[in-house]
Structure 1
Amino acid sequence: MADLWTIIVTLNTILAVLTVFREPRDIAATWAWILLLIFLPVFGFVLYSFAGRKLPAKRLFAFQGQDASAIDQKIQQRIKAAPGSTNNERVAELPRSARSLVTMFQRINQTPLASNNEVQVLTSGRDFFERLKRSLRQAEESINLEFYTFYSDDLGHEILDLLVERAQAGVEVHVLYDSLGSAGTTARFFAPLRAAGGHAAPFLKRRFNLINFQLNFRDHRKIVVVDGRVGYVGGFNIGDQYLGRKKKFGHWRDTHLKIQGSAVYDLQEHFLLDWNASVLKAPMDVTADRYFPALSDQPAGRTDLQIVTSGPDSDDEQIKMGYIRLIQLAKKRCWIQTPYLIPDDSTIDALRIAANSGVDVRIMVPCMPDHMFVYRATQYFASQLVKDGIKIYYYQNGFLHAKTMVVDDQLASVGSANFDFRSFKLNFEVNAFLYDQSVTEQLAATYEKDIEQSSLQSEESFRRQSRWLRFKQVASRLLAPIL
């Protein structure tokens, strides 16, 4: 019996190593999967089948095919027809630090600088959903929504009813949602929208999902584009909890942007690419004029920004690189808000270098978990970073879900990407990187207001934690690359 067990363990170890090394991945994720496969022989392989495999080649091609170049040509035509909307001279006028970030995104994400945008910062669910519903009611040509979570609760039905109403009025409506993030929301929920002539589909989900094993690649983006003129991007999803209606979380603190101007084109582009990669048999016409209406000769606002995406369709980890570059550029302050703090070695090094160089580095996380393993890993990394003089705040007034970064006086980021391995490598994410003093000041003021409802952690407070709690944190940290 002992010999049989030895054979089983040996074969399992060999298979674990061969399985993980079949596909290139970073060393941290490699070791995390090997540990899981070795210590959980059967369950580990089942989990790996669903969550450890790379994006299939056909899906990669769907994201990287001809649609992107066709959309880019369309956008350039529209931009050139609008005097002063964006140009190389505008890039040259930006501060040197901003220019370096713009250049990086132009190279690794083919992301143009979008100038002359009006940007409104929305930090409460009430404000966000009131403005969103108003925009939906005013739609005349098209509505495109993409959310990680679209729950079939009271708010979900309210938004759905608005979409049905607009579809019945002749507006073209498309909804893209993540099937795992929207757990409990079935295709039947969207039946009224389809009956009204609208469209709804899950992101990347195939008919035989158990065979194709794409569980690990989640659409975490939050994009809304109305008539090609008004766009929304940030952290809110569709559901009652985002209005603070769930007792478990209480008040929900998030940050979203409403954008008008040329940057809306970029949000539209990413929605169209995501839809066509997901709904192969019913693609949208990516060059239709209604999706990219002519820009007004009068600038919508004064904010310069770039819409940046990242995901498993690229190995560049564009948003993570943006975060690191922002940290590197900080001279006075780098203030971060994130619900999940599970950084990799490169981001940890960047944070520590900044803090030890005299930069005021602050990181705000929730005081409560929504995913236990992730929260314990967050606590672990918080306890380590505080040793370098980084100020760690636990937000106490409900659940903090905002994903923001404020650097010095006029650099900022708002979007869907958390400060963790999953957002860096596995999720499809979208962020707005902003180069505007006014918006940065608004975000900084919001951060300072949130500090009033937060508790500052110390090395001593982490030392007072029980041994059992510290063990759970360390154990969760070992699985951090695959959480």
Structure 2
Amino acid sequence: MEKIISFLLSRVTLVTLALLAQIITLALMIYRFSNYFLIFDIIFMVISVMVVLYILNRKSDPTYKIAWIIPIMLFPVFGGLFYLMFGGTGLSSKMKDKMHTIIDKMKECLYQHPVTLANLRKEDTIAFNQAKYIEQYSSCPVYDNSATKFLPSGEEFFKCLTEELKKAEKYIFIEFFIIEKGIMWNTILKILKEKAKHGLDVRVVYDDFGCVTRLPHNYNKILEGYGIKCSVFNPYIPILSFRLNNRNHRKIAVIDGKTAYTGGINLADEYINAVEKFGHWRDNCVEIKGDAVWSLTVMFLSMWGYLRKNDENYQKFRPETYDQSGECHGYVQP
């Protein structure tokens, strides 16, 4: 009985009911005004035409324009109205300006060393063209002087991550789509709490939708109580909007700017097969050491700046020297 009551009063249930209420209300409104279909048909057709003209004149990605124009033309009665309800980014002009500022700052910090590109071009023209394309469109440079290690399972990632977390001396940055209480997260959290207690800068970012059924509401405040700085990406609210689909699927861990992890593994027990939700789980991750860690550090800090609306000096998180104990060969472009 307690489980049923807990489920009925959970945030997921309440938000779902609120969204269903909005959908039902919209459907009833359409049914209620069905007697005036011809009038509304003309109005909505005009709206759709105006919306298409607006989209065509917007300064945005052509693929974005096509993705909206085609369904609006196919379903002109409701297409324009649908765009007005869900087509916007949901960001204010002030927030857009803030994002542009963060992106510009990110570009300033991620400098592409020309010698590295020149060497890559000599070794592999195809790889050079790909790296150059990625650098131009994402501002993420290609690095040498970096070591990588492929981790073929969640179990191996978990082992390596905890070992590196214990070695942290200055800061730890954690950014994941899913975090769930259990063996994996509880073990990591214990280390984070200990490091925060000793004065390290420990920060955590998680996606609210990814954790909505896995973490209690206001879990960020619980972490803050441990001395761990925490921000939640796009809090899940009961408003019918495509903004709910704007999620952060990043999986990044950075330790002292010298070691980083990224891949497909979240911080939940099914990823290390401590529990089986969907059968045996197989995913992988990459450990990066050396210069290339800087890109992941800047990625995290840019997201942190966006969520916290603050401006800090990224360079203070850049190590003066990197650990060269790993075997550095080839090129890395995170």
Structure 2 length-normalised TM: 0.73
Q: 2:321 aligns with which of 292, 295, 319?
A: 295
Query: Does residue 286 of the first structure (1) align with residue 314 of the second (2)?
Result: yes
- The structure-2 alpha-carbon separation of the partners of 1:187 and 1:22, relative to structure 1 and needing over 3 Å to count, comes to farther
Query: Does residue 304 of the first structure (1) align with residue 331 of the second (2)?
Result: yes
Name the structure 2 match of 1:188. Answer: 218
- The structure-2 alpha-carbon separation of the partners of 1:222 and 1:118, relative to structure 1 and needing over 3 Å to count, comes to same
Q: 1:64 aligns with which of 100, 116, 119?
A: 100
Q: 1:218 deviation in Å?
A: 1.3
- The structure-2 alpha-carbon separation of the partners of 1:55 and 1:2, relative to structure 1 and needing over 3 Å to count, comes to closer
Name the structure 1 match of 2:253. Answer: 224
More helix by share: 2
Name the structure 1 match of 2:284. Answer: 255
- Decide whether the 8 Å contact of 2:117 with 2:128 is kept in 1: no
Name the structure 2 match of 1:197. Answer: 227
- The structure-2 alpha-carbon separation of the partners of 1:209 and 1:226, relative to structure 1 and needing over 3 Å to count, comes to farther
Name the structure 2 match of 1:474. Answer: none
Quote the Cα distance in structure 2 between the aligned partners of 1:28 and 1:212.
17
Query: 3-state SS of the aligned residue for 1:114?
Result: coil
Quote the Cα distance in structure 2 between the aligned partners of 1:170 and 1:33.
55
Q: Which has the higher contact order (CA 8 A, sep 6+)?
A: 2
Query: Does residue 142 of the first structure (1) align with residue 142 of the second (2)?
Result: no
Give the alignment of 1:401-480 within 5 angstroms: none
Q: 1:270 deviation in Å?
A: 0.7
Measured against aligned partners, the alpha-carbon deviations of 1:309-335 in whole angstroms (never above 9, x if no partner) come to xxxxxxxxxxxxxxxxxxxxxxxxxxx
Quote the Cα distance in structure 2 between the aligned partners of 1:241 and 1:13.
49
Q: Which amino acid aligns with 2:333?
A: Q
More strand by share: 1
Q: CA RMSD in A?
A: 3.5
Q: 2:300 aligns with which of 264, 271, 275?
A: 271
- The structure-2 alpha-carbon separation of the partners of 1:33 and 1:203, relative to structure 1 and needing over 3 Å to count, comes to farther
Query: Does residue 235 of the first structure (1) align with residue 293 of the second (2)?
Result: no
- The structure-2 alpha-carbon separation of the partners of 1:195 and 1:262, relative to structure 1 and needing over 3 Å to count, comes to same
Name the structure 1 match of 2:119. Answer: 90
Q: 1:293 deviation in Å?
A: 0.4
- The structure-2 alpha-carbon separation of the partners of 1:236 and 1:48, relative to structure 1 and needing over 3 Å to count, comes to farther
Quote the Cα distance in structure 2 between the aligned partners of 1:3 and 1:210.
28
Name the structure 2 match of 1:178. Answer: 207
- Decide whether the 8 Å contact of 2:223 with 2:229 is kept in 1: yes
Measured against aligned partners, the alpha-carbon deviations of 1:83-142 in whole angstroms (never above 9, x if no partner) come to xx9634423332111111122223222222211221111121111111112221221100
Measured against aligned partners, the alpha-carbon deviations of 1:177-207 in whole angstroms (never above 9, x if no partner) come to 111122133453344431232211112559x
Quote the Cα distance in structure 2 between the aligned partners of 1:64 and 1:17.
31
Quote the Cα distance in structure 1 between the aligned partners of 2:256 and 2:50.
50
Query: Does residue 158 of the first structure (1) align with residue 204 of the second (2)?
Result: no
Name the structure 1 match of 2:87. Answer: 52
Structure 1 length-normalised TM: 0.53
Query: 3-state SS of the aligned residue for 1:215?
Result: helix
- The structure-2 alpha-carbon separation of the partners of 1:192 and 1:202, relative to structure 1 and needing over 3 Å to count, comes to closer
Query: Which sits farther off after the overlay, 56-65 or 94-103?
Result: 56-65
Give the alignment of 1:319-330 within 5 angstroms: none
Q: Which amino acid aligns with 1:26?
A: K
Name the structure 1 match of 2:37. Answer: 5
- Decide whether the 8 Å contact of 1:244 with 1:252 is kept in 2: yes
> What is the aligned residue count?
292
Query: Which sits farther off after the overlay, 137-146 or 98-107?
Result: 98-107
Quote the Cα distance in structure 1 between the aligned partners of 2:70 and 2:106.
41
Show structure 1 runs of 5+ residues with no match: 308-483
Query: 3-state SS of the aligned residue for 2:43?
Result: helix
Quote the Cα distance in structure 2 between the aligned partners of 1:250 and 1:109.
36
Identity fraction in percent: 26
- Decide whether the 8 Å contact of 2:102 with 2:305 is kept in 1: no
Q: 1:304 deviation in Å?
A: 0.3
- Decide whether the 8 Å contact of 2:258 with 2:322 is kept in 1: no
Measured against aligned partners, the alpha-carbon deviations of 1:54-104 in whole angstroms (never above 9, x if no partner) come to 25243333332167447745x65xx98xxxx96344233321111111222
